[in-house]
Amino acid sequence: MAKKIDKLLDLFEKDHLEPNETPLAVVKGDYEGVAIGEYGPKAGILIATNQRLVLFINKLIGYELESFPYSSITSLESSKKFLGHRIRFFTSGNKCTMSHITEHRLKDINGFIKQIRNNMGVSPSTSLNETDQNESDDIPSQIEKLSHLKLKGILTEEEFDSKKKELLAKL
């Protein structure tokens, strides 16, 4: 029998993937907040694709879906508590919190968080590979952008140093 996370992902992939969109990481937990006018925790999945972050909640009749382009995500928080991990991210005028995360499709939850951090600020109309190719000629501005992400707390010192070293090696 398939895990609940696999069933929810299959339902999402069947009708809601955009052309050339691929799920990269998925977590299952409880969404905390107002979804379609209703407040309260709802079991669902948070999907990081190559184009966006998607909250998908299957209901007895129908579903709820909210899409967050990476370009609109301004901040990301994560924590671990007794009942599981929690991820909260902010977009212009909105926040999304997924708590009690106990099931995920990666070696660890940190991979999901890195997936979001690495894609914050990327335009949904540009694939991630195209972004890397377009910016490869302008390494100093990439390092400057990384520095701003580090100052905002989006990147850790280690992540910044690692990426900076990688970019400088290309010069």
How much is the pLDDT for 39?
62
pTM: 0.63
Per-residue pLDDT tens, the chain, 171 aa: give them: 347 777 778 878 888 888 888 888 888 888 876 555 566 677 788 888 888 888 888 777 878 888 888 888 888 888 888 877 888 888 877 777 878 887 665 556 777 788 788 878 766 554 444 445 444 557 777 777 777 777 777 778 888 888 888 878 877
Q: Say how many C-beta atoms besides its own lie within 10 A of residue 60's C-beta.
A: 4
- With 0-12 / 13-18 / 19 or more C-beta atoms within 10 angstroms meaning exposed / middle / buried, residue 88 is middle
Residue whose C-alpha is closest to residue 22's, from 128, 141, 169, 156: 128
Q: Are 112 and 24 in contact (CB under 8 A)?
A: no
How much is the pLDDT for 129?
47
Residue whose C-alpha is closest to residue 94's, from 51, 150, 55: 55
How much is the pLDDT for 134?
47
Residue whose C-alpha is closest to residue 45's, from 92, 2, 4, 88: 4
- With 0-12 / 13-18 / 19 or more C-beta atoms within 10 angstroms meaning exposed / middle / buried, residue 12 is buried
How much is the pLDDT for 139?
76
Domains of the chain: 4-135 (2.30.29.30)
